[in-house]
Structure 1
Amino acid sequence: MIDFDIPADLAALRDEIRAFVNDKVVPYESDPRLTRHGPDDGLRAELVELAREAGLLTFQAPKRFGGREPSHREQAVLFEAAGWSTLGPVALNCAAPDEGNMFLLGKVANTEQVEQFLLPVIDGHQRSVFAMTEPGGAGSDPNQLNTTAEFDGTDYVINGHKWLITGAHGARTWIIMARIAPNPHGGDGPTLFLCEGDTAGIELERVMNTMDRNYVEGHGVVRLTDLRLPASAVLGEVGQALRYAQLRLAPARLTHCMRWLGAASRAQSIAIKHARERTAFGKPIGEHQGVSFMIADNEIALQQCRLAIWWACWTLDMGDRGTGRHESSMVKAYVSEELFKVADRCVQILGGIGISDETPVGMIFSDMRAFRLYDGPTEVHKYAIARQVLR
């Protein structure tokens, strides 16, 4: 039997998060510190303190780290509420890439690494990055990893070029993917490393100008030059970076979908209000068939996306059914495309105001276009889905 009821305690927390985002966070959407490179670290810190005061900061963290440890299905409800504003996840400390990095570190990091690199992120005192993507190298295909790590038996010396590294400017906790060269001292292959962002050898060349503006400090281009790290900097096991990346990505794809479902629902609510109040040709525009059909299409899409997310989350919660990689790929591909259509229709309903900063809908639209590429473009997911089906 399938039960779609939301338990009372979960509904209460959802409503508390939605009210916090609506009352405390939404007013910051016009703050000048929300720049073309996303909210700056000062704005993030101020928002984080609001969530801390409200007792909602990093609610998704494991209980052993002071969080509420919701299941994936419970996260679907709560992250949607957080996403009502694109700044909501930033304030609540459940935004990418920190949310996915916290999940990975909670699964793989040892005790010392947890203390140094994970707990400060959970507490909202520092940010993190996942440095994998490279110009001409690792991206949708991480096997093309070009960044190298030479091991001399004591230290690893890392060299490479990374880009689209979200939040690189000012982040303290760095997870770096590099390929360890064959050596006589130990294992080799793609490996994850942990270090502080101010370690010698890490150079932020620039922050890229991109169409999205919801990630703290935007996306950086980073040069790694003779970055020397001790053997203790290895995260997990040598040679297991690609497996760990998938461990991180399956749930991270879904939390992206959850947050953007909240933003798309916000855009729909603004479009509905406008359709009720704006008149043209003798009546409110919502009474014209062209506009009413767009509103209906949006409502259908939002609910279908919600149900798809819940299904994939159920699969993850039933851990014996697999990793959720196949299911999360299907949902990411479907939801990212459908929510972009929702945002596009909302811009159309709003007309001229929809392409302005008078409402957040224009920003949601451009951010939603970028979402179709986050954690793998639709085409890569479809390719993986087809391979699974054809086996």
Structure 2
Amino acid sequence: MDFGHSDRVLALREDLRAFMADHVLPREAELARAIDEEVAPDVAYPAAIRELRAKARDAGLWNLWLANHHDGPGLTNVEYGVLCEEMGRALYVAPAIFNCSFPDTGNAEAMLDYGTPEQVQQYARPLLEDDVRSCFALTEPEAASSDPTNIFTTATLDGDEWVLEGHKWWISGAIGASWAIVMAVTDPDAAPHQRASMVIVSTDAEGFEIVRPLPLMGHAAGYGHCELRFHGARTPKANLLGGRGEGFAVAQARLGPGRIHHCMRAIGAAERAFELMCRRAQTRETRGEPLAAKQMVQDWVAKSRIEIDTARLSVLHAAWMIDTVGKKGALQPIAQAKVQVASMLQEVVDRSIQVHGALGLSEDTPLASFWRTARALRFGDGPDEVHKVAIARRELARFA
């Protein structure tokens, strides 16, 4: 394994760091407020984010996630990991500026891998080139989402259209999205992993209802994590993504790299939280000495440094496995990294909040936002417990 960085990636990282330092980090709070206040059903991005997206594209810092296939910049997953970590330092605002935010990256990749030429042109190209967003509708309140084979939402073929009936929730990015990839049952009597398909549905279709943005630890603004209902929503028959009954396979292929992207961003957020913790410890005094002199704080700093560096190596290893043996061959390291990094981020951010005192609970630092994201990551793309079971089963199978 070689995690050394090419001259090209080092140059891109310097360009990205300079862009973040000049345009993003000084305006982070302002940009976050703009997202929360301006994003609406017909507004994908606030004006300030659109302005910076244009600058990022002109600077060649665009679609960096689109790895060594299609018409992307040709980076490996390991190389992208180095850049994605930088974006994670402003976790709520930065990825969208570089057109590297979820769920759009996963949706675009699924479209490029499984879509027809017409679907690519109509749906993927705008995601890659314009100020357009999408969402991915899988989880449901009536079904344990740790097992997506038991979903209830249906898509029934009626002539040349699919008709959707059902209920989804925690659909990230639904506010302001132009279309959704919806996982729905198309063959209820088929085998569990062949019951569902992926269907592309316009968010302005009649019968497509955004019920509400669900509050994530009290935060319900911005792009949203939404509850949706489908009341006979119709979409053309041609909007089936992949083959009929292949919904589970498409979902798994889509989620593998997505999990790694989440982990890469989380490393950047953890590094930022760590830096904030160390600076606060050096400058805040109590009982006549800085917090940095306290042995307990030193313990938190040491643990955090060890955990971040260990998690980074796990993520790079998983990315290297995807690059060398493909997504399927990398299932084990992807799952391990997903569990490890989500827990690590929560621990590091929590320590940083503790060092900041009540300031860390406010929105005056990015720590509260980081903590919400960290806690959600332990569910996102599959709960920790499901991944642990899969990890254990694969390991035990080696000794059967």
State TM-score, norm by structure 2.
0.90
In the alignment, does 2:117 pair up with 1:111?
Answer: yes
| 1:370 aligns with one of 373, 376, 379 | 376
Identical positions, percent: 35
Q: Distance in 2 between matches of 1:322 and 1:62?
A: 17
* Counterpart in the other structure of 1:94: 100
Alignment of 1:41 with 2:45, yes or no, is yes
Corresponding position of 1:61: 66
* Contact 2:3–2:316 (8 Å) recurs in 1: no
Q: Residues 327-360 of structure 1, C-alpha deviation per residue, up to 9 Å, x if partnerless?
A: 2111101111111111111111222221222221
- Offset at 1:269? 0.9
Preserved CA contact (<8 Å) 1:36 1:209: no
- 8 Å contact from structure 2 (residues 307, 344) kept in 1: yes
Q: CA deviation at 1:382?
A: 0.7
What per-residue deviation string (whole Å, max 9, x for no partner) do you get for residues 54-100 of structure 1?
A: 32122222577653131111121110011111111121111111121
1:279 shift after superposition: 1.9
> Which residue identity is paired with 1:33?
A
Match of 2:89 in 1: 84
Q: Give the superposition deviation at 1:215.
A: 8.9
For 2:336, the equivalent position in structure 1 comes to 330
Which runs of 5 or more structure 2 residues have no equivalent in the other structure?
none
Identify the match of residue 71 of structure 1 among 70, 76, 84.
76
Question: Between Structure 1 and Structure 2, how many residues are aligned?
Answer: 386
> Is the CA contact 1:37–1:219 (under 8 Å) kept in the aligned structure 2?
no
Correspondence 1:121 to 2:127? yes
Distance 1:131-1:297 versus aligned 2 partners, 3 A rule: same
Partner of 2:259: 253
Deviation at 1:101, TM superposition (A): 1.3
State the Cα RMSD in Å: 2.3
Residues 160-239 of structure 1: pairs in structure 2 closer than 5 A: 160-181=166-187, 189-211=195-217, 216-239=222-245
Determine the C-alpha separation between the residues in 2 that align with 1:221 and 1:94.
24
Greater Cα shift, 377-386 or 109-118: 377-386
Give every structure 1 segment of 4 or more consecutive aligned residues whose post-TM-superposition deviation is greater than 3 Å. 36-40, 62-66, 212-216, 320-323
The amino acid of 2:86's aligned partner reads A
Q: Write the letter of the residue equivalent to 1:68.
A: P
Corresponding position of 1:277: 283
Q: Structure 2 counterpart of 1:78, which letter?
A: L
- SS of the equivalent of 2:234 reads strand
Three-state SS of the structure 2 residue aligned to 1:161 is strand
- The farther-off stretch of 12-21 and 49-58 is 49-58
Counterpart residue identity of residue 4, structure 1: F
Residue 339 of structure 1 pairs with residue 340 of structure 2: no
Q: Do the aligned partners of 1:131 and 1:174 also contact (CA within 8 Å) in 2?
A: yes
> How far off its partner does 1:320 sit?
5.8
Which one is further off, 49-58 or 211-220? 211-220
Matched to 1:105, the amino acid is M
1:388 to 383, 387, 394: 394
C-alpha separation between the residues in 1 aligned to 2:217 and 2:38?
9
* 1:150 aligned partner, one-letter code: T
Give 1:312's aligned residue: 318
- Conserved 8 A contact 1:132-1:176: yes
Contact 1:154 1:231 in 2 (8 A): yes
SS in structure 1 opposite 2:140?
A: coil
Higher mean displacement: 168-177 or 318-327? 318-327
